[in-house]
């Protein structure tokens, strides 16, 4: 497995673990708010073949919150 895919999978696993931790009683919200965006920003490009050809993540409907 190439290093790029390993980095992607490892980061996704850490984001998942953070999400599980966030749901626990007594979770440190300041930690979650600091680490979550940092992990998300460190996600490398997805491995080739993860999305179908021509996939555009910005082509969906507008966010209901009006962002």
On whether the pTM is more than 0.85, the answer is no
The pLDDT value given to residue 63: 67
Q: What pLDDT, on a 0 to 100 scale, did the predictor assign at position 27?
A: 96
CA distances from 17 to 10, 30, 50, 52, 62 (A): 11, 16, 21, 27, 29
pLDDT tens, 10-65?
888 999 999 999 999 999 999 999 999 888 888 877 777 778 888 887 787 776 76
Each domain of the chain, given as residue ranges in start order, spans 16-44
């Amino acid at each position: 497995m190439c290093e790029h895919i390993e980095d992607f999978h490892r980061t996704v696993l850490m984001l998942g673990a953070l999400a599980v931790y966030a749901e626990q009683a007594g979770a440190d919200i300041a930690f979650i708010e600091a680490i979550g965006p940092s992990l998300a920003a460190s996600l490398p490009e997805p491995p080739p073949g993860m999305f179908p050809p021509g996939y555009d993540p910005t082509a969906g409907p507008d966010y209901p919150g009006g962002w």
